[in-house]
């Protein structure tokens, strides 16, 4: 497992130099100006001692060295002997005495940070259960220093709540990124690998610093060229990338084409019960592990949106997934089988078919039939990453099946990183949603952290929002989404406020005005975006294909199962058992009853579950139509205000990040008006009901 | 002017062989089965004598030889001496005696066909005023034979009504065709020329056979690569293509990029009044004529849809066009200056700006300011080739300016050659539209044939519908549009029925059942298409960009100036002087009054000129909403019936053309239902008014 990457200090490219603040994201490591703090930190920084020499431990040392070099005037000491006080990196295995006993409580990726006054002087022990824990501990210590806290009496024990903390890249080998809004792929270009391992290493650093431990490096829609990623022509390159991630405690996975046996193997079938097919996948998997001994496994989008899958052969998803599971089993690899399966050639005239029902209808009957290393990867909602939709009823519904939550960090339907939309508050709502699967307290977060049913595997994954833009995410403030995602996978109980404060401090430093403005901008942004876009959970009022900008009927007469049924009287999808598609019956009693009844259905999901007249009165006391008008006028004003708030920060940060964010906020404010006017006009022209405040509707 | 093309008989490619019937279009030349006719024809066919030897006369001889070889079992004689009876090809210049006197009445492209019994036997004289007339006469004689008419007492004099009878290719050098629906370009591929001069020659034959005498060979949107067509790197290739067309009496033109002096000349401006720019164009034009001594001139789309133009320099369109006119003048070249100029970044909220007004508002004030070799190229309607729109008020409005009508043979908004939509009836309506410019009888056809104002130049042009599909036009029956277009440019007084009958006979032969079915299918198809698509002249209810398929609000909130303003009460664009945009004032009194008044505005343009309630009663006695429902239910049924009618023709023609057309008609019938349901549902959901017949609306 040779590493093909030199330490990044020696390879720093033009981009990193010219756009340092933008590029460094939350790993800024500003010089510590407070003399007393600086003195305390340097006492430790002087010496960094490692008890092991693995690549991950080396990364931890590098990270500390890199940070200290940047934070302190005098170059920090580095690895110069155990006799001086300083920082000790070690796994539990190499620790002795009381520290060892205490550390035994750690889980696999857990760690302790302990300040200890030894006879030779003060030390900080960074103790990992395994080596990746040591790296996480190093990043944690640096976070403490970035926040300007004292470090001489640390006694921290951290275990991640989720076992699998993943990122999915939707990168194609032509360099494009499906639903990417931050430039081209950092992995691929012109149907090959970019070879820019330095950039990939910097991505690994960002991911590892927030606890991510797995990455699938190609789009779930596996096209012709990408199908070859599991062949000898490309596996050496995949192995190079895997080596970079390995050094940061991140396992590499690949999305695979279910029809690979046909395209690559020359077989005449991809039937998962065909012995030839099964043998082919076993051989293929073995081959992959020869290149990458710790390969993570496969992500599979099958029988979905024109992708091939087991349905072609009249087999179930369990048949399809288990075949891959068995091939991966000898190597402890995993299968992430996506549940995003629905009829994408629906007739809009047919009101009885409901796309929202599809995942549950397909997978619930298969509970208990999946192999132990197969994990169902379930999108947070039953539709597709809308700004607001119900939580998928599959969570908690399959007691005997591994489940994983899939979120979308990339802002496909939430402004495409041209609008500010901080998603941590949305994710918190999803994680905190109570499924009642085992009675009250059966939140989604307890399903996917495994504590509810103790499955073999569980966790959270998400579609990444990064590309080769110099600030990684297009919108500089969208870095906060990647940060927050990672932090929540580690600990879903962190509050939005905590995560936000951490991110601001690490990204912009300690300026109180910056903190106050950015905190408020971030925390309000999802609700602002929701205000001026699709109302009350109805979703889908976007332009087809690219999904940017308002188009109230954009998906109304389509094949995609995405309708709102607005007419001159009212709007919404009746998903009740009483008179609609019966989707509500997929929830357990408490939620079913809540959504089924107009009285108890929350306002923000009203149109997701019910078709109501425009004059229907919300719990707020407003009618639906007046709510639409009010939120849209308010939302556009709020978007304008985001710009004004940001303008207060001029001079309080580097010019590049200030200007980059400002230009996006200017576009957002303008585009929010377009949203406001089109949505309001659409509903006014349909309903004929005037705005009570007589504001301008066209 | 060397010809680089060998006679096509020796180069016939695979395509022509394998798809002969589809490829030959209306130049079928079926064997003549009637013995007496065959005998009569062969009496003449035995010998074809030419008095001149130019490339065009050679083409005429080739065409006759090719046709006779195909029509008669015994290979026809060819050029074997004047002493035998037969066909004589000659220009007026070489004719003597009474024939010469008579022929002196011919106009430039005119010809006579005369059967004469000489002492040596019967002869047919094909006498052209110039050599292209001889070629037209040859095609005319063949048409007579294809129709099975007698030829022994012919006495025909034909002069084209229009001087300029052009075709515009919207082909790009990457091989794509803007608004092309029949495969890739026959001219270009991979940013170069295809070099397939044989295919181009066969296109020239088709065009010449219906009287076309000019072609611009690249897209009016002249992109980066195509800008180089007027440079020495590509002019030799252009000259090769021009040679092919020249042999068929067709002049070659190029679309040019107004910013060429910047891109090609390295100048810092393209200001038409700048002496350096003027000198550059003069030199450039001279260079072009060195390669192509009979080069036709330039087609220019300037200051339109993001194309550069004189506006950039605060100059008028007259300034811009005249500069090019002066450069072309020494070579008798022409400038076609397109009037498709409007604000394509309009705010949909602004109801006072009316795109329909734009061409007139821009150009009318410039009457008399254009150079004598500049011709304004005006789209038939003020919007953009909709299935139904008003006729452009610019026709006849500029007494002192050369005007040319631009039609669209390619079916951008009329079903993209996947739907049958025979446009000859539409074009007839346009040509017969009375502008009243010089009182009653001032039809558009009299404006563009020059008889109304006697301008220096006038004529008709159109965007081609061909590509490299083996049947040229995607939909085999769409060949009829190209045919009919050419015939109408020659003689706008031909009736739709005459043209249709000619085309069917030449394309499918004499089968009466085929005649009856195809005639009826073609002649009804425009009205059928209109029935199930946008109602009552409102237009634009299509998907943005590609313009295929229904999308009632597709252009409603766009930047393109294309709105219908449908709300819960009514629909339509108020273009009256009384209460609307005042567009009606651009027409002369008679038309202005007709359109201004709800009482006299024709039903089919009602929503183009007026915003009315859905309950407004049409002249038919129906309400607008009921008309919409009725026409859409009827249109979809009619589309289904087209398929049924075609199915009656199985076995009455070759299988390929039968199946190709059938598969398109199947798609059309299905897609017409989608149109029906989406349009009806859209209006029902908006108006809440039920169909009186209680048919299914979703």
pLDDT of residue B689: 98
Annotated active-site residue A412? The verdict is yes
For chain B, say whether A615 makes contact (Cβ under 8 Å): no
Q: What does the pLDDT average to over B520-536?
A: 98
Asked if the Cβ–Cβ distance from A557 to B678 is below 8 Å, we say yes
Q: How far is A582 from chain B (nearest CA, A)?
A: 20
Asked if the Cβ–Cβ distance from B677 to A553 is below 8 Å, we say no
Q: How far is A692 from chain B (nearest CA, A)?
A: 18
H or E element, residue A192:
strand A192-193
Q: Give the span between the Cα atoms of B59 and B52, in whole angstroms.
A: 12
Q: Give the span between the Cα atoms of B268 and B276, in whole angstroms.
A: 10
Q: What does the pLDDT average to over A649-676?
A: 98
Asked if the Cβ–Cβ distance from B688 to A349 is below 8 Å, we say no
Asked which of A422-431, B2-11, B51-60 is least confident by mean pLDDT, the reply is B2-11
Q: What does the pLDDT average to over A640-664?
A: 98
Asked if the Cβ–Cβ distance from B348 to A698 is below 8 Å, we say yes
Q: Give the span between the Cα atoms of A641 and A633, in whole angstroms.
A: 12
E strand map for B222-355: 251-255, 297-300, 334-338
Q: Which of A384, A469, A596, A660 is catalytic?
A: A384
Please give the mean pLDDT across all residues of chain B: 95
Q: Which residue of A has its CA nearest to B550?
A: A557
pLDDT in tens, B488-519: 999 999 999 999 999 999 999 999 999 999 99
Minimal CA–CA distance to B660: which of B323, B224, B182?
Answer: B182
For chain A, say whether B568 makes contact (Cβ under 8 Å): yes
pLDDT in tens, A438-488: 999 999 999 999 999 999 999 999 999 999 999 999 999 999 999 999 999
Say which residue, B530 or A76, is predicted with more confidence. Answer: B530
Asked if the Cβ–Cβ distance from A686 to B557 is below 8 Å, we say no
CB pairs under 8 A between A and B: 49
* Confidence band of A10 (pLDDT split at 50, 70, 90): very low
Task: Give catalytic residue positions of B.
Answer: 305, 384, 412
CB burial readout A37-76, b (16+ within 10 A) else e: bbebbbbbbbbbbbbbebbbbbbbbbbbbbbbbebbeeeb
* Confidence band of A7 (pLDDT split at 50, 70, 90): very low
For chain A, say whether B567 makes contact (Cβ under 8 Å): yes
* Confidence band of A344 (pLDDT split at 50, 70, 90): confident
Backbone φ, ψ for residue A89 (5° rounding): -100, 130
Among the partner-chain residues B557, B565, B569, the one whose CB lies closest to the CB of A678 is B557
- Rounded to the nearest 10°, the torsion over CA A436, A437, A442, A445 is -120
For chain B, say whether A570 makes contact (Cβ under 8 Å): no
For chain B, say whether A678 makes contact (Cβ under 8 Å): yes
Interface test with A, best of B350, B554, B567, B696 (most A CBs within 10 A): B567
Q: Is the pLDDT of residue A134 over 90?
A: yes
Q: Which residue of B has its CA nearest to A679?
A: B557
| Contacts with B565 from chain A: Cβ below 8 Å | 685
Q: Is the pLDDT of residue A83 over 80?
A: no
Among the partner-chain residues B551, B568, B682, the one whose CB lies closest to the CB of A687 is B568
Q: Which of A287, A305, A593, A650 is catalytic?
A: A305
Q: Give the span between the Cα atoms of B303 and A316, in whole angstroms.
A: 59
Please classify residue B186 by burial: count the beta carbons closer than 10 Å to its beta carbon, then call 0-12 exposed, 13-18 middle and 19+ buried: buried
Backbone φ, ψ for residue A15 (5° rounding): -55, -50
Cα torsion A80, A81, A84, A85: sign: positive
Interface test with B, best of A567, A570, A670, A679 (most B CBs within 10 A): A567
pLDDT in tens, A493-505: 999 999 999 999 9
pLDDT of residue B551: 97
Q: Is the ipTM of this complex over 0.85?
A: yes
Asked if the Cβ–Cβ distance from A686 to B552 is below 8 Å, we say no
pLDDT in tens, A558-612: 999 999 999 999 999 999 999 999 999 999 999 999 999 999 999 999 999 999 9
Alpha carbon distances (Å) from B416 to B145, B425, B562: 33, 17, 20
Q: What does the pLDDT average to over B165-175?
A: 98
Among the partner-chain residues A557, A686, A698, the one whose CB lies closest to the CB of B686 is A686
For chain B, say whether A548 makes contact (Cβ under 8 Å): no
Alpha carbon distances (Å) from A593 to A426, A589, A602: 23, 6, 12
pLDDT in tens, A223-259: 999 999 999 999 999 999 999 999 999 999 999 999 9
Could you say which residues from 299 to 358 on chain A have a Cβ atom under 8 Å away from some Cβ of chain B? 348-349
pLDDT of residue A63: 97
Asked if the Cβ–Cβ distance from B686 to A687 is below 8 Å, we say no
| Contacts with A678 from chain B: Cβ below 8 Å | 557
Among the partner-chain residues A569, A685, A698, the one whose CB lies closest to the CB of B688 is A569
Could you say which residues from 422 to 451 on chain B have a Cβ atom under 8 Å away from some Cβ of chain A? none
CA A433 to chain centre: 18
φ/ψ region of B545 (left if φ > 0, alpha if ψ in -120 to 50, else beta) reads left
Q: Which residues are registered as beta bridge partners of A122?
A: A117
Q: How far is A550 from chain B (nearest CA, A)?
A: 9
Asked which of A93-97, A336-340, A367-371, B328-332 is least confident by mean pLDDT, the reply is A93-97
Asked if the Cβ–Cβ distance from B677 to A568 is below 8 Å, we say no
Q: Which residues are registered as beta bridge partners of B623?
A: B617
| Contacts with B685 from chain A: Cβ below 8 Å | 565-568, 686
pLDDT of residue A1: 36
Q: Which residue of B has its CA nearest to A552?
A: B553
Among the partner-chain residues B349, B568, B677, the one whose CB lies closest to the CB of A685 is B568
Minimal CA–CA distance to B247: which of B110, B81, B134, B108?
Answer: B134
pTM of the entire structure? 0.92
- Rounded to the nearest 10°, the torsion over CA A598, A600, A603, A606 is -40
For chain A, say whether B566 makes contact (Cβ under 8 Å): yes
Q: Give the span between the Cα atoms of B565 and B571, in whole angstroms.
A: 6
Q: Which residue of B has its CA nearest to A682?
A: B567
């Amino acid at each position: 497992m040779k590493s093909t990457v030199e330490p990044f200090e020696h390879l720093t490219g033009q981009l990193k130099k010219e756009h340092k603040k933008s590029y460094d994201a939350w790993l800024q490591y500003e010089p510590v100006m407070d003399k007393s703090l600086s003195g305390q930190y340097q006492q430790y920084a002087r010496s960094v001692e490692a008890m092991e020499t693995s690549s991950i431990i080396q990364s931890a040392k590098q990270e500390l060295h890199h940070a200290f070099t940047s934070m302190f005037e005098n170059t920090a000491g580095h690895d110069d002997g155990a006799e001086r006080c300083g920082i000790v990196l070690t796994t539990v295995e190499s620790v002795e005495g009381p520290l060892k006993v205490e550390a035994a409580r750690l889980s696999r990726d857990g760690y302790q940070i302990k300040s200890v006054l030894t006879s030779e002087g003060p030390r900080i022990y960074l103790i990992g259960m395994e080596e990746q824990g040591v790296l996480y501990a190093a990043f944690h210590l640096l976070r403490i220093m970035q926040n300007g806290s004292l470090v001489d009496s640390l006694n921290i024990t951290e275990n991640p709540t989720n076992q699998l903390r993943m990122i999915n890249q939707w990168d194609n080998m032509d360099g494009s990124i499906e639903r990417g809004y931050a430039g081209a792929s950092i992995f691929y270009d012109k149907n090959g690998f970019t070879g820019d391992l330095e950039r990939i290493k910097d991505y690994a650093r960002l991911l590892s610093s927030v606890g991510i431990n797995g990455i699938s490096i190609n789009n779930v829609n596996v096209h012709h060229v990408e199908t070859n990623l599991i062949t000898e022509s490309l596996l050496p390159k995949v192995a190079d990338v895997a080596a970079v991630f390995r050094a940061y405690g991140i396992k590499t996975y690949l999305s695979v084409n279910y029809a690979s046996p046909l395209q690559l193997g020359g077989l005449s079938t991809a039937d998962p019960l065909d012995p030839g097919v099964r043998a082919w996948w076993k051989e293929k998997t073995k081959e992959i592990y020869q290149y990458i001994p710790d390969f993570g496994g496969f992500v599979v989008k099958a029988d979905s949106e024109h992708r091939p899958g087991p349905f072609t052969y009249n087999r179930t998803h369990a048949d399809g997934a288990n075949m891959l599971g068995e091939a991966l089993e000898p190597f402890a690899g995993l299968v992430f089988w996506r549940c995003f399966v629905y009829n994408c050639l629906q007739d809009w005239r047919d009101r009885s078919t409901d796309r929202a029902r599809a995942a549950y209808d397909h997978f619930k009957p298969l509970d208990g039939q999946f192999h132990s290393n197969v994990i169902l990867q379930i999108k947070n909602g039953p539709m597709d990453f809308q700004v607001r939709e119900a939580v998928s009823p599959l969570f908690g519904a399959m007691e005997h099946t591994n489940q994983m939550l899939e979120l979308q960090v990339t802002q496909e339907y939430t402004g495409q990183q041209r609008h500010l939309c901080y998603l941590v508050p949305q994710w918190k709502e999803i994680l905190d949603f109570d499924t009642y699967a085992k009675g009250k307290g059966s939140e989604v977060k307890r399903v996917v952290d495994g504590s509810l049913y103790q499955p073999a595997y569980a966790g959270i994954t998400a579609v990444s929002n990064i590309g080769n833009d110099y600030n990684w995410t297009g919108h500089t403030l969208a870095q906060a989404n990647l940060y927050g995602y990672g932090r929540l996978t580690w600990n879903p109980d962190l509050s939005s406020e905590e995560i936000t404060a951490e991110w601001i401090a690490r990204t912009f430093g300690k300026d109180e005005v910056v903190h106050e403005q950015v905190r408020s901008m971030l925390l309000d942004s999802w609700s602002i975006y929701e205000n001026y876009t699709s109302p009350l959970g109805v979703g889908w009022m976007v332009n087809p294909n690219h999904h940017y900008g308002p188009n109230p009927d954009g998906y109304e007469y389509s094949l995609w199962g995405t309708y709102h049924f607005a007419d001159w009287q009212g709007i919404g999808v009746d998903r009740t058992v009483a008179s609609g598609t019966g989707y509500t019956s997929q929830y357990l009693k408490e939620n079913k009853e809540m959504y089924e009844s107009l009285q108890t259905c929350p306002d923000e999901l009203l149109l997701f579950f019910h078709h109501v007249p425009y004059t229907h009165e919300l719990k707020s006391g407003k009618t639906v139509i007046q709510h639409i008008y009010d939120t849209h006028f308010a939302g556009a004003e709020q978007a304008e205000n985001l710009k004004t708030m940001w303008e207060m920060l001029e001079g309080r940060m580097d010019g590049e990040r200030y200007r980059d964010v400002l230009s996006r906020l200017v576009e957002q404010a303008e585009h929010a008006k377009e949203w406001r006017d089109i949505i309001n006009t659409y509903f006014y022209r349909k309903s004929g009901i005037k705005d009570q405040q007589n504001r301008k509707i066209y």
